[in-house]
Copies of this chain bind each other. A is one copy, B any other.
Amino acid sequence: TLAAPAIAQAQPTIKWRLASSFPKSLDTIYQAAEDMAKRVKAATEGRFDIRVFAAGEIVPAFGTLDAVQNGTVEITHTASYYFVGKNKAFAFDTALPFGLTARQQNAWTYFGGGMALLRDFYREFNVVNFPGGNTGVQMGGWFRKEIKSLEDIKGLKMRIPGIGGEVFAKLGAVPQAIPGGDIYPSLEKGTIDAAEWVGPYDDEKLGFFKVAPNYYYPGWWEPGPNLSFLINAKEWEKLPQAYKEIVEAACAEANVRMMAEYDAKNPRALASLLSKGAKLHAYPRDVMDAAFKAAQEIYADESGKNPAFKKLYEPWNRFRNESYQWAKVAEQGFATFAFNQKV
């Protein structure tokens, strides 16, 4: 007998809308959602079509979690720490001051028990989460005047959102919440004294070096911020298993590629910024020490009053401690020697 030609019920046609929390101008981050959607579509022969909308096109940047939760859209690409106003525990899915680096964040999430804890937390929001990108350690922001010691932080008006802003407040600064597009004129007029954004590649485009040339590192409040794909749990469950597999792989691919893209773009952007007059400074040691202490106080305080935070913080902190002990051996042994060589 001849074998019958392989005829099968095709997989269903599915259309999703993805509301990004990012503008197209943050092209490295925004593009990760487009790339993920493109991969899913091509891998399903066009059947599973995720259309990506930039922040504000159909949902405001900070409204995307609500939109996923209530089913207005099926999926968002976001930084979960935008939602710390709902619960500070969202920060574990993105970054915490003096927390995990990009690699450590992946280690914790994929293999260190983090994913199970995050899935538990997200369940009440009707959301399933997948890591979907990272910027690496961000820069520490642009300052109109040089910061020589902790004294110079006091009274400083700085654009810095979230828990990083709370740490700066404990140091005597006055944190400001200002949208990206308003930072430049505010720095120029002196309405604010300092502002943090992302890193060399994204910062250069906004031109801060012209009005606040003192460029500080590191961005200790964001050592490895993870961007997340958050999916409505009911829509996720409706997917055929093969589509779930493809989405999960495509999100992981977006994760590794975004970090790689930033690592390829930032070196030249930093060199360019320095050639245009940006002045590179390390945060003074007393600022680092005071910020570290303030961050641990915030964690202790929040753990005392927020059970969801405490449930994530304790295992996360053990993982952080173990990871730091290991990272300072082989990785740091190499980095401190090699990065200072002329090659």
CB-CB contacts below 8 Å: A216-251 with B:
217-220, 223, 241-242, 245-246, 248-250
Interface contact A137-B330, CB-CB below 8 Å: yes
Interface contact A333-B43, CB-CB below 8 Å: no
A112 contacts across to B, CB distance below 8 A: 264
Given the known A-B contacts A6-B12, A39-B245, A329-B270, are A264 and B111 also in contact in the complex, defined by CB atoms under 8 Å?
yes
Segment of A74-82, A152-160, A164-172, A335-343 in the binding face: A335-343
Mask for A37-68, Cβ within 8 A of B = 1, else 0? 00100111100000000000000000000000
Interface contact A101-B335, CB-CB below 8 Å: yes
Interface contact B9-A338, CB-CB below 8 Å: no
Q: CB within 8 A of A246: which of B8, B246, B256, B327? A: B246
CB-CB contacts below 8 Å: A294-343 with B:
296, 317, 320-343
A7 contacts across to B, CB distance below 8 A: 7-10
Residue A290 interfacial (CB < 8 Å): no
Residue A260 interfacial (CB < 8 Å): yes
A268 contacts across to B, CB distance below 8 A: 322
Mask for A86-99, Cβ within 8 A of B = 1, else 0? 00000000000010
The smallest beta-carbon distance between A150 and chain B, in angstroms, is 15
A126 contacts across to B, CB distance below 8 A: none
Interface contact A110-B220, CB-CB below 8 Å: no
**Distance A250 CA – B249 CA, assembled complex (angstroms):** 6
A185 contacts across to B, CB distance below 8 A: none
Q: CB within 8 A of A330: which of B44, B110, B199, B320? A: B199
**Distance A249 CA – B262 CA, assembled complex (angstroms):** 19
A137 contacts across to B, CB distance below 8 A: 330-331, 333-334
Interface contact B249-A43, CB-CB below 8 Å: yes
CB-CB contacts below 8 Å: A104-154 with B:
104, 106-112, 136-140
Interface contact B320-A343, CB-CB below 8 Å: yes
Q: CB within 8 A of A253: which of B253, B292, B341? A: B253
Interface contact A259-B13, CB-CB below 8 Å: no
The 4 closest A-B pairs by CB, nearest first: A107-B263, A111-B264, A218-B333, A256-B256
Q: What are 20 inter-chain pairs, A to B, with CB distance below 8 A?
A: A8-B8, A42-B245, A43-B43, A43-B246, A103-B136, A106-B257, A109-B260, A111-B261, A111-B263, A136-B331, A138-B330, A140-B330, A218-B331, A223-B334, A249-B253, A266-B326, A270-B326, A324-B338, A328-B339, A332-B335
20 further A-B pairs in the complex, CB-CB below 8 A; given A104-B263, A246-B249: A43-B43, A43-B242, A43-B249, A103-B259, A106-B256, A200-B326, A217-B333, A218-B331, A223-B338, A248-B253, A252-B256, A263-B323, A266-B326, A267-B323, A271-B325, A288-B337, A292-B341, A321-B342, A327-B339, A332-B335
